[in-house]
Structure 1
């Protein structure tokens, strides 16, 4: 599991930062990648990255401001040309379906894959769940309806303790699979083996929280609680807290407090105003690390592997 940042700027493209798009690389876990937002120029950023558009499976939209969705029609079209023929699902606020449908209709784009669009109710909730992952959405505090997402990897089964089975004279075979599933099996000699006796403790899943644009709010804290990685906007430095509040954005210190108070592992700040470059960007990082030491400032093409935290 790895986060990859295609765009980390705020508002409009800049020379050193494109607008928002984040990839969650789940190739090892499920053979696919998920997008979070798709600002203008995202497909151009992909060309300069290791991201394989044909491997994309889902796209989660936080809100309908242009710097988060203007790259979407082009990305959907390019996916067909780059070999993407598997189903693709978009999740987002009310209005995302009308935007996508109208864009594809007017440009007469033909997609070679099944496209599904799921609009999220205003109160949020669980938007996706299967045997491996659950994705929850909750509304944030921004000028228009905006969501944050909490991606939860479900716990993995513990490892089969093969050495204990070897000591009992039991060699590898179909029996191992049944025991790993926790089943009770009866041997030909009458002995019963309980799977729970031969499987180690479960492996805790990881949690990644990705927030859309927001000023500090209760749902930011709820989505972030205990996350291994929190991706939080930090449009402004601490000196512009008033401006951040006026435009429903956050500062570095506010993002760091959300991380620290929520017991987050790593904070990654993004959606950075173009006014912060060089020493200005370094100062943003210093402000956050003064509150939450494990903080990082994302740049375009920055990647971060999501480790399993020790329990």
Structure 2
């Protein structure tokens, strides 16, 4: 599981940074990736990345501002030309279906794969045997949502030495134990999963928030997350400006990470006024005064999501 940023600027792109887009790469877990927001030129950024649109499984849109959305029609249209024929599910706020359908209809674009568009207003969005995705509304000028991706805990390691003593070799019975089912040995002994499995591997939690002022809804989404991705549009000397435009400062992002007991914080969505690296480093320094495990999101770099204790 890795994060891969393809856009970290707020509002408008610059020569160095594109507008918002972030991939959660799940190649080991699902042989796919999930996309969070799709600002203009996201498909160009994907061409420069280790990602392939044919492996795109889900898209999550945080809100309908253009710097988070305007790359969506082109990407959806291009996916088929890059081998994407598997179903694709798009989650987003009310209105995203009308936006996509209108653009595709007026441009007479044809999509030869199944596209499902799920409009939501928060709550539980997706769950299978491996992952759960939850959402909640934040505090922005228009409805903006955060997403909490929870990897379910995995069974611990089987005690193969103990199983061998009971005459159990690798095979279907191993699978039953890992699924939480008891088995009966050839001599009639009942082996329960807890008898032969080590401690479960804790699943990882990734929280990706849309544009927002500081608000109570952030904390349940970010609670003990291994990674929190939070906007840091301004430095704290512009806290009033941030409040007026429904954004957050780097310090406020760090406060959320600290209060929610996150493991790490990635800052993104930087105002275009911060053009130079030394200005961005000031944002980082401001955050690290509150939460030392803060990092600036850099485009076209992989950030592994490590398993916490």
Which TM bucket (shorter chain)? over 0.9
Q: Is the 8 A contact 1:208 1:228 kept in 2?
A: yes
State the partner residue of 2:217.
Answer: 219
My pick for the range that moved more, 221-230 or 180-189, is: 180-189
Shift of 1:194: 2.3
State the partner residue of 1:74.
Answer: 74
State the partner residue of 1:290.
Answer: 289
Shift of 1:48: 1.2
* 1:49-198 alignment, distance < 5 Å: 49-121=49-121, 124-198=122-196
Q: Secondary structure at the match of 1:58?
A: strand
Instruction: Find out whether 1:256 has 2:225 as its counterpart.
Output: no
Segments of 4+ moved more than 6 angstroms: none
Q: Is the 8 A contact 2:166 2:185 kept in 1?
A: no
Shift of 1:27: 1.3
Output the TM-score relative to the length of structure 2.
0.97
State the partner residue of 1:303.
Answer: 302
Distance 1:178 1:23 in 2: 34
Output the TM-score relative to the length of structure 1.
0.96
My pick for the range that moved more, 195-204 or 252-261, is: 195-204
Shift of 1:202: 1.2
Q: Is the 8 A contact 2:180 2:193 kept in 1?
A: yes
Q: Is the 8 A contact 2:168 2:185 kept in 1?
A: no
Deviation digits for residues 176-212 of structure 1 (CA, Å, limit 9, x no counterpart): 2223333232233333322321111211100000000
State the partner residue of 1:7.
Answer: 7
Distance 1:289 1:75 in 2: 36
Distance 2:135 2:5 in 1: 20
State the partner residue of 1:243.
Answer: 241
Gaps of 5+ in 2: none
Shift of 1:295: 0.2
Distance 1:163 1:72 in 2: 52
Q: Secondary structure at the match of 2:217?
A: helix
Q: Secondary structure at the match of 1:37?
A: strand
Q: Is the 8 A contact 2:167 2:185 kept in 1?
A: no
Q: Is the 8 A contact 1:17 1:274 kept in 2?
A: no
Shift of 1:238: 1.2
Gaps of 5+ in 1: none
Partner of residue 234 from structure 1, selected from 232, 235, 247: 232
Q: Is the 8 A contact 1:180 1:198 kept in 2?
A: no
Deviation digits for residues 221-250 of structure 1 (CA, Å, limit 9, x no counterpart): 221111000000000011111110110000
Q: Is the 8 A contact 2:61 2:68 kept in 1?
A: yes
Instruction: Find out whether 1:33 has 2:44 as its counterpart.
Output: no
Shift of 1:53: 1.0
Q: Secondary structure at the match of 1:218?
A: coil
Distance 2:42 2:73 in 1: 11
Distance 2:27 2:118 in 1: 23
RMSD of the alignment, in Å? 1.1
Q: Is the 8 A contact 1:21 1:39 kept in 2?
A: yes
Equivalent pairs counted in the alignment come to 308
Deviation digits for residues 79-111 of structure 1 (CA, Å, limit 9, x no counterpart): 000000000011111100000000100111111
